[in-house]
Amino acid sequence: MLTAIFFVSSPVLRANEASNSDEIKYAEEIEKEEFKAGEMIIEHITDSYEWHIITIGHNHISIYLPVILYDQGKWIIFNSKHLHHGKDSYKGYHIAKEGFNAGKLVRRNEKGEEVRPDYDISITKNVLALFISAVLIIWIFISVANSYKRRRGQAPKGLQSMLEPLILFIRDDVAKASIGHKYERYTPYLLTLFFFIFFNNLFGIVPFFPGGANLTGNIGVTGVMAAFTFIITTISGNKNYWMHIVNMPGVPWWLKIPVPLMPIVELMGIFTKPFVLMVRLFANISAGHIIILGFVSLIFIFGNIHPVAGYGVSIVSVAFGIFMDLLELLVAFIQAYVFTILSALYFGMAIEEEH
Amino acid sequence: MQLINPGFGLVFWMTLIFLVVLFILKKYAWKPILASLKEREDSIENALKAAEEAKKEMAELKAKNEELLKKALEEKDALLAEARNIKDKIISEAREKANLEAKMIIENAREQIEMEKQATLGEIKNIIASYSIEIAEKVLREELSDKKKQKSYVEKLLKEIQLN
């Protein structure tokens, strides 16, 4: 959010300290444009090849991340600063401005159409955020595990006592309650899932580096986690689970023969469950960010009309922004919990015995 | 569209990183954490169970003690009652025995008295007989001398006897 304020403030505040000609050109370019809230918001909640940290005057401070492509049989690696404002393309690649691939690196094929490189495994903003959060999560939990080893049989202390209720909550009220007596096999996955989502939701709320990446509001990230849940559910599925899909007991026969209506619905259900998991988390987190950014945008929209209006609206916007941020804290927990408990329920369904 | 178009790179890195995080946490975090949580829960449960058992044992011990005390008291009462009975019995027996002995002594005494009386009576009879013979002898002798004298003598003798 703070980043947003600084970023969008560049057209409003005039300063003449641009470092290079590109910057000046870009600054003039956007100065001519009106403030577009939609574009700004989308830019903030989607992935990018650089990590824009702050803009002071006309100085953009960004981390330029490496672009790693494997295209047409060869590796292409370069710094994303070459794609920076004002340059059309580097090594034949540029960032698409519109269309399905908007914001992503593309090249022009023979027909002049924009196509994605074969494999684009660039370290983007979200990937870097992913690295940081992964390291942080591993560090936190290994240190907690060490304090468990050190303080054997004693009451928890410090970080350990802060995280223990959550660990117990996931183990007892999510895993044990939804899966049953075989819960121990799935507990590590569910714990990892919960804390991964929860911590990344929280990092997403923090508006400045190294937070601020909209990781759990990215459909790719939620999709991967949903896919893991799907894979584990499908692998764990026992005879009873598949029988329920192929031949649902307790359903009139004419729903199965001659038109296998129930099996089709059940078969679709296998895929809709993880799909819904993916969309729910992505939509909830993105929506929260969009609303907060929207409130911030209001300040600049009114500020463009008249500076006084901007100041006036800022009071209301900040108040609503704070409210939304607090709501986001709640959502961060709830969505992590919902993703985890639904995964646990699907595992429970997959290994449920006939009764 | 941008929002729902997942980047291949992000999916690739996410899969890799999530798996790495999952395996590292599983091995180095969840395993020791869950194990020590379980250990702690077990030890608490065991301690509670042991306390409950100790409580039960205490209660049992107390009940046993009480029973023992009760039994001892009963025994004491029984002993006392028995002692009292024995005492009464001894006393009554002694009294009976004494009575019997007394009776026997009295009987014996009576018998002896009877016997002595009989003996005395016999002796008296003998004495009377010998006196009678003597008297008769003397009478017979007097008769031989003087009839009057004889007569008075007999009378005198008789008077003498009466005096005896």
| Predicted confidence (pLDDT) per residue in A203-228, tens digit | 988 888 777 788 898 999 999 999 99
Asked whether residue A222 falls in the same domain as residue A101, the answer is no
Q: Is the pLDDT of residue A2 over 70?
A: no
Higher pLDDT, A178 or B147: A178
From chain B, pick out residues whose CB is under 8 angstroms from the CB of A187: 30, 34
At residue A18, what are phi and psi to the nearest 5 degrees? Answer: -65, 140
Judge: B8–A119 Cβ closer than 8 Å, yes or no.
yes
Residue of B4, B8, B10 to mutate when probing chain A, most A C-beta within 10 A:
B10
**Under 8 Å between Cβ of A95 and A49:** yes
- Which of residues A123, A150, A171 is at a domain's end? A123
Vertex B39 angle, CA A142 and B56, to 5°: 160
Asked whether residue A176 falls in the same domain as residue A96, the answer is no
How many residues comprise chain B?
164
Judge: A121–B11 Cβ closer than 8 Å, yes or no.
no
Asked whether residue A243 falls in the same domain as residue A228, the answer is yes
Asked whether residue A136 falls in the same domain as residue A240, the answer is yes
Give residue A16's pLDDT band: very low, low, confident or very high (50, 70, 90). very low
Instruction: Compare CB distances from A138 to B2, B7, B21 and report the shortest one's residue.
Output: B21
At residue A259, what are phi and psi to the nearest 5 degrees? Answer: -95, 120
The count of domains in chain A is: 2
Q: Which of B32-36, B70-74, B87-91, B128-132 has the lowest mean pLDDT?
A: B128-132
From chain B, pick out residues whose CB is under 8 angstroms from the CB of A45: 3
Residue B63 C-alpha, separation from nearest chain A C-alpha, in angstroms: 36
ipTM of the modeled complex: 0.83
Q: Give the single-character DSSP code of A68.
A: E
Judge: A141–B36 Cβ closer than 8 Å, yes or no.
no
- When the pLDDT of each residue in chain B is averaged and rounded to a whole number, the result is 88
Q: Give the single-character DSSP code of A249.
A: T
- Which of residues A89, A123, A157 is at a domain's end? A123
| pLDDT tens per residue, range A317-336 | 999 999 999 999 999 999 99
The pLDDT value recorded for residue B74 is 96
User: Domain residues for A339?
Assistant: 126-351
Residue A170 C-alpha, separation from nearest chain B C-alpha, in angstroms: 11
Asked whether residue A176 falls in the same domain as residue A256, the answer is yes
Q: Which residues of B touch A (CB under 8 A)?
A: 1-15, 17-18, 20-22, 24-26, 28-34, 36-37, 39-40, 43
- When the pLDDT of each residue in chain A is averaged and rounded to a whole number, the result is 83
Asked whether residue A189 falls in the same domain as residue A283, the answer is yes
Arithmetic mean of pLDDT, A41-52? 83
Asked whether residue A192 falls in the same domain as residue A309, the answer is yes
Arithmetic mean of pLDDT, B56-78? 95
Task: Give the domain ranges of chain B.
Answer: 8-163
Q: Name A236's Cβ contacts closer than 8 Å, sequence gap at least 6.
A: A347, A350, A351
- Which of residues A69, A88, A123 is at a domain's end? A123
Asked whether residue A57 falls in the same domain as residue A172, the answer is no
Judge: A145–B39 Cβ closer than 8 Å, yes or no.
no
Give residue A34's pLDDT band: very low, low, confident or very high (50, 70, 90). low
Q: Name A81's Cβ contacts closer than 8 Å, sequence gap at least 6.
A: A50, A64
Asked whether residue A118 falls in the same domain as residue A153, the answer is no
Asked whether residue A31 falls in the same domain as residue A149, the answer is no
Give residue A137's pLDDT band: very low, low, confident or very high (50, 70, 90). very high
Neighbours of A244 (CB within 10 A): 20
Neighbours of B113 (CB within 10 A): 11
Asked whether residue A52 falls in the same domain as residue A164, the answer is no
Asked whether residue A116 falls in the same domain as residue A160, the answer is no
The pLDDT value recorded for residue A33 is 52
